[in-house]
A and B are shown apart, each in its own frame.
Chain A
Amino acid sequence: MSETGIGAAVRRVEDKRFLTGRGKYIDDIDQRGQLYAWMLRSPHAHARINGVDTATASQAPGVVAIFTGADMAADEVGGIPCAWQIHNKDGSPMHEPPHPPLAVDKVRHVGDQVAVVIAETKAQARDAAELIAVDYDVLPAAIDMDLALADNASLVHDDVPNNLCFDWEIGDKDATEAAFAKADHVVSIDIVNNRLIPNAMEPRAAIAQYEPSNGNYTLHTTTQNPHVIRLLMGAFVLQIPEHKLRIIAPDVGGGFGSKIFHYAEEAILTWASAKVPQPIKWTAERSESFITDAHGRDHETHAELAMDKGGNFLGLRVSTKANIGAYLSTFGAAVPTYLHGTLMAGVYTTPAIYCEVKTVFTNTVPVDAYRGAGRPECTYLLERLVTKAAREIGMDPVEIRQKNMIQPDQFPYQTPVALEYDVGNYPASLDTALQASDYAGFEKRRAESESNDKRRGIGISTYIEACGIAPSAVAGALGARAGLYESAQVRVHPTGSVTVYTGSHSHGQGHETTFAQLVSESFGIPIEQVEIKHGDTGEVQFGMGTYGSRSIAVGGPAILKACNKIIDKATKIVAHILEASESDIEFKDGKFTVSGTDREMAFAEVSLAAYVPHNYPIEELEPGLDENAFYDPLNFSYPAGCHICEVEIDPETGDVDITNFTAVDDVGRVINPMIVEGQVHGGLAQGIGQALLEGCVYDDSGQLLTGSYMDYTMPRADNLPNLNVGTQSVLGASNPLEVKGVGEVGAIGSPPAVINAILDALAPLGVDDISMPATSAKVWQAIQNA
């Protein structure tokens, strides 16, 4: 291992600029002659628009233009597309109702855009927006999923009966019925996966700019995938060809999924920038983020597990309702289906599984991927159910897991729900976590707590997830409308320093460091010689972006592939210059040697020869040392692991104190252990936040009751414990870097561990269920009701 290569805890390259206030987030950027946009948003969850009167507002000081949905419609601007098409049980495609960027005839959630005001200052734009008169006919709102599915429900989209977007299934229904028919025990559970608001700390923002002299558009936007935005917005919404549209996502302050999607504001600003034509900037206020950033989770599920006498799993039946909000967001349809139903085997050998998902339109903000996306919902369900099953048949929660786990010699393992797990060692993660959490000493600690009138519990979650959706052909067969490969360009400069252009995007993950480590390792050069560029479609050839823990699993191998092309070419150059056969050239520690001799060339000597080709195999090779690679993985990668949570509850107040949280994750090869731990910490905080604190609440009329940090409980430093995090890895088998991905594991594995711990603590009091978030009020009430 070189000092800055694979496996080294290299301190982050990006930190100095962030720590000195020199990061460049979008709101930090200004363009000459820039105007400001303010979005007029619907105060109603559901209303018909009879008219929008902008006459007075247009006269307000500083106002340059005001546009409404009618203006965009007149220009034949397209709707915001969904990138994934799901099919119903009967094979028909899902409903895809139109999603105009500015509402035309109806508004469908509080926060839906009705008009954009463009003015010289932000304050002027905002002041003028208050002068716009919108004539609304308020309609009843469809909020609760069961009510939305009812025959007399108000329709979010007039042509989508029962608000049912699609009714999907996976698995073998008959085989599952047969398994239940011969079961000795059936355990069932009804579970709600609480709706969450992602809350990246940087609010979304954008600056659109049009250059009339050449017809070029530039959009700076807070996105996790600039090329995807260029494709979706350029091709489907605004009909701007790729070479005329540049998307730049500079420093982005967190995403967690919420900045994957193509948002209406991006299209509105870009379109309006050509009308004005001056640069236009828009920065969301946090209150706008709450009502416009796509939300996460929001599933209601009934599930049943069939077992034989010995507690062996025979079958699993799952029926889920998933809230998709008012419109289909970019990946909204994929989350409750291919990122949820396909994981229902978990780490277990359950032979028969059937899962059906009804996805429902409601008058709420669109729901889409949020850290984990579908996999936390699946894991929460399975791990609650398995723990409940253990309790009902009187078996230890560890034993029931060990008994039903896929064993290390069973790989590759074909699950009954489409996925084939490549490698893993689930019992090993469980064992390591049991030791790291001192599971054996728990009863002693429980007794101590009880002597202090406290209740102590311990909860386990053994999870699996799937990262780096791939290969593209499979994703396509499942309904993806794009490929899911990644691209990289490795440009070696004449004096041997390197610039890498990656299609992945970093918004906190530290790619500038981790990816540079790959190159440092590959070329045997110090990390200071490597610069990673991302986030600009004008610089980076192409890319599918960062989500689903795909950057290292898909983006990493693309970089490695380009590095290998460089080494191949360099080898040919060296063979020519040193007059040796290519097969005799060895490359190690940054040096090419002719094996068995002392003839050698340093990496930088070769790059110089490539750019100053005086002695060069010019007949066979082009000059230069600059290679492109596109990498499409063989399979998903499958991180897995075990999370164990221990809590102490004060029954007087319902206060839950996490006394210990242990996470043992199998993430494959670790490139930078410091960054990997940080990713797990962050994921755990979001998972623990979901379990204990966070929950999005709408009232029946569709008003968001948790629309600020005063009402939506974000985890703060004093809500969280120190986290005991470790990895226990089996090298990945789906890519040449042998990595698996780490961004989401924390948020996926942790919620059921927390809730299982709470229920373990409260079981002696007769509490057998509690929903997330398990706030102190809810815990106290559960104790009172028991």
Chain B
Amino acid sequence: MPTVSMTVNGKSVSAEVEPRTLLVQYLREHLGLTGTHVGCDTSQCGACVVHVNGESAKSCTILAMQVEGADVATIEGLADGDTLHPMQEAFRENHGLQCGFCTPGVVMSALDLVRTNADPSEREVREWLEGNLCRCTGYHNIVKSILAGAKAMQG
């Protein structure tokens, strides 16, 4: 089996994997990073969103071997010890989650939006979330959370 190496949440990792291993499987099954979820098999729900070299990506749609050498960030790497990232805090403050299953993907996706658009409008947030499904919240409080998180990140 081939070996794949990358950086995940700042740590170098390396493992032998079957070539067909998806990045999400690698994160969940090999590294035990189960915060990244799988909600579909057609690349449409966004529960699996992580950052690859700083940009959001659906980890169910990439082979682990495709990100050889890359810098991968997952939901587990966001908080600073016990202190939540401002975007996480905004979700808590604004009740932006219910069952929590879509949440890691939504938060990672939101951070990529803010990276390219520091002060998004409500419409821009809604359109950006096109790739993330949430069945619980009706998106109302997710949108509110992202707007608040973006503000907090501006500082």
Interface residues of A (CB under 8 A from B): 11-12, 14-25, 27-28, 123, 199-203, 251-254, 256, 285-287, 507-510, 674-675, 677-678, 681-686, 708-710, 714-718, 720, 722-723, 746
Partner of A722 from the list B76, B104, B140 (CB cut-off 8 Å) is B140
Min CB distance A64 to B, Å, is 19
Residues of A within 8 A of B42 (CB): 286-287, 708-710
Q: A19-B104, A252-B99, A254-B99 are in contact. List 15 more A-B contacts (CB 8 A).
A: A12-B92, A19-B75, A19-B103, A20-B78, A22-B76, A201-B135, A202-B101, A251-B99, A286-B40, A507-B99, A677-B95, A681-B139, A715-B139, A716-B132, A717-B142
* B39 contacts partner chain A, Cβ-Cβ < 8 Å: yes
Residue-wise, chain B 38-81 has the 8 Å CB interface mask toward A (1 for contact) of 11111011010000000000000000000000000011101100
**Chain A residue contacts of B135, Cβ below 8 A:** 199-201, 254, 256, 682, 685-686, 714
Contact partner of B20 (CB less than 8 A), chosen from A21, A123, A285, A675, is A123
Q: Are A19 and B107 in contact (CB under 8 A)?
A: yes
Whether B100 lies near A718 (C-beta < 8 A) is no
Tell me if B100 and A18 are in contact (CB < 8 A): yes
Q: Which residues of B (82-108) have their CB < 8 Å from a CB of A?
A: 84, 88, 91-93, 95, 97-104, 107
The reply on B126 being an interface residue by CB < 8 A is yes
Residue of B76, B107, B134 most packed against chain A (CB within 10 A)? B134
Are the CB atoms of A717 and B91 closer together than 8 Å?
no
Instruction: Give B20's nearest chain A residue, CB to CB.
Output: A123
Flag if A201 contacts B45 (CB, 8 Å).
Answer: yes
The minimal Cβ–Cβ distance linking A288 to chain B, given in whole angstroms, is 9
Within 8 Å by CB of A15, from B36, B75, B91, lies: B91
Asked if B16 lies at the interface with its beta carbon under 8 angstroms from chain A, I say no
CB atoms of A508 and B99 under 8 A apart: yes
Complex contact A718–B36 (CB within 8 A):
no
A300: shortest Cβ distance to chain B, in Å?
A: 26
Asked if B95 contacts A717 (CB within 8 A), the reply is: no
A-B contact pairs, 20 of them (CB 8 A): A11-B92, A12-B95, A14-B100, A16-B92, A18-B99, A20-B79, A21-B36, A23-B101, A27-B38, A201-B135, A253-B100, A286-B45, A287-B41, A287-B42, A678-B95, A682-B137, A709-B44, A709-B133, A718-B126, A720-B140
B5 lies within 8 A of chain A by Cβ: no
| Cβ B101 vs Cβ A717 within 8 A | no
The 5 A-B pairs of least Cβ separation, nearest first, read A21-B35, A18-B100, A253-B101, A508-B99, A685-B138
CB pair A253–B99 under 8 Å, yes or no, is yes
A685 engages B34 (CB within 8 Å)? no
Note all chain A residues with C-beta closer than 8 A to B33. Answer: 21
The answer to whether A714 touches B133 (Cβ under 8 A) is: yes
Contact A717 B97 (CB under 8 A): no
How far is it, in angstroms, between the C-alpha of A682 and the C-alpha of B142 when the chains are bound? 11
Contact indicator A20/B35 (Cβ below 8 Å): yes
B141 an interface residue at 8 Å Cβ cutoff? yes
Docked complex Cα distance between A470 and B126 (Å): 41
| A716 engages B130 (CB within 8 Å) | yes
> CB within 8 A of B84: which of A19, A287, A682?
A19
Check if B103 sits within 8 Å of A717, measured CB to CB.
no
CB neighbours (8 Å) of B104 from chain A are 18-19, 21
Asked if residues B98 and A678 are in contact (CB atoms below 8 Å), the reply is yes
Contact A202 to B136, CB < 8 A, known contacts A19-B88, A682-B98, A709-B44:
no
Do A18 and B103 contact each other (CB < 8 Å), given the known contacts A678-B137, A714-B133? Answer: yes
Nearest CB on A from B21, distance (A): 9
**CB-CB under 8 A for A675 and B95, given A285-B41, A685-B138, A709-B45:** yes
Q: Is the CB of B92 within 8 A of A19?
A: yes
Cβ of B136 to closest chain A Cβ, rounded Å: 5
Q: How many residues does chain B have at the interface if contact means C-beta atoms less than 8 Å apart?
A: 55
- Complex Cα–Cα for A746 and B140 (A): 13
* Closest B residue, CB atoms, query A688: B138
Q: How far is the CA of A509 from the CA of B92 in the complex (A)?
A: 14
How far, in angstroms, from A15 to B98 measured CA to CA in the complex?
Answer: 8
The interface of chain B, by Cβ under 8 A from chain A, is 18, 20, 28, 33-42, 44-45, 47, 74-76, 78-79, 84, 88, 91-93, 95, 97-104, 107, 122-123, 125-127, 129-130, 132-143
Is the Cβ of A717 less than 8 Å from the Cβ of B129? yes
Alpha-carbon distance between A20 and B74 when the two chains are bound, in angstroms? 9
Contact B99 A202 (CB under 8 A): yes
Point out the residues of chain B lying under 8 angstroms from A715, CB to CB. Answer: 138-139
Bound-state CA distance A715–B92 (Å) is 23
Say whether B95 contacts A286, CB under 8 Å.
Answer: no
Contacts of B130 in A (CB 8 A): 716-718
Q: Which B residues are in CB contact (< 8 Å) with A203?
A: 38-39
User: Once the chains are docked, how many angstroms separate the CA of A709 from the CA of B95?
Assistant: 26
Are A20 and B76 in contact, with the CB atoms below 8 A?
Answer: yes
Would B84 and A20 count as touching, CB distance under 8 A? yes
Do A717 and B92 touch (CB < 8 A)? no
Q: Are B98 and A510 in contact (CB under 8 A)?
A: yes
User: Given the complex, which residues of B lie within 8 Å of A722, measured CB to CB?
Assistant: 122, 140, 143
Q: Which residues of A contact B134 (CB under 8 A)?
A: 201, 717
Q: How far apart are the CA atoms of A117 and B135 in the complex, in Å? A: 31
Q: Which residues of A contact B28 (CB under 8 A)?
A: 27-28
B-chain residues with CB within 8 Å of residue A254 when the two chains form the complex: 98-99, 101, 135-136
CB-CB < 8 A to A19: which residues of B? 75, 79, 84, 88, 91-92, 97, 100, 103-104, 107
Shortest distance in angstroms between A353's beta carbon and chain B's nearest beta carbon? Answer: 33
B26 CB to nearest A CB, Å: 14
B61 to chain A, nearest CB (A): 13
Tell me if A723 and B140 are in contact (CB < 8 A).
yes
Residues on B with C-beta less than 8 A from A714 are 133, 135
A678-B97 Cα distance, complex, nearest whole Å = 9
Q: How far is the CB of A224 from chain B (nearest CB, A)?
A: 11
**Given A256-B135, A708-B42, A710-B44: A200 and B99 interface contact (C-beta under 8 Å):** yes
Judge whether B41 and A286 touch: CB under 8 Å. Answer: yes
Closest to B129 in A: A717
B100 touches A251 (CB 8 A): yes
CA distance A287 to B95 in the complex (A): 30
A747 CB to closest chain B CB (Å) equals 10
Q: How far is the CA of A25 from the CA of B104 in the complex (A)?
A: 13
Q: How far is the CA of A675 from the CA of B91 in the complex (A)?
A: 13
- Residues of B within 8 Å of A507, CB to CB, are 99
Q: Closest residue of chain A to B101, judged by CB? A: A253
Contacts of A28 in B (CB 8 A): 28, 34
Tell me if A25 and B133 are in contact (CB < 8 A).
Answer: no
- Bound Cα distance from A20 to B98, whole angstroms: 14
Inter-subunit contact A720/B139 (CB<8 Å): yes
Contact, CB under 8 Å: B75 / A20: yes
Q: Closest CB of chain A to B37's CB: distance in Å?
A: 7
Closest chain-B Cβ to A340's Cβ sits at a distance in Å of 23
Query: Once the chains bind, are B39 and A201 in contact (CB under 8 Å)?
Result: yes
A487 to B46, CA, bound (A): 37
Closest residue of chain A to B75 (Cβ to Cβ) is A21
A28 to B101, CA, bound (A): 11
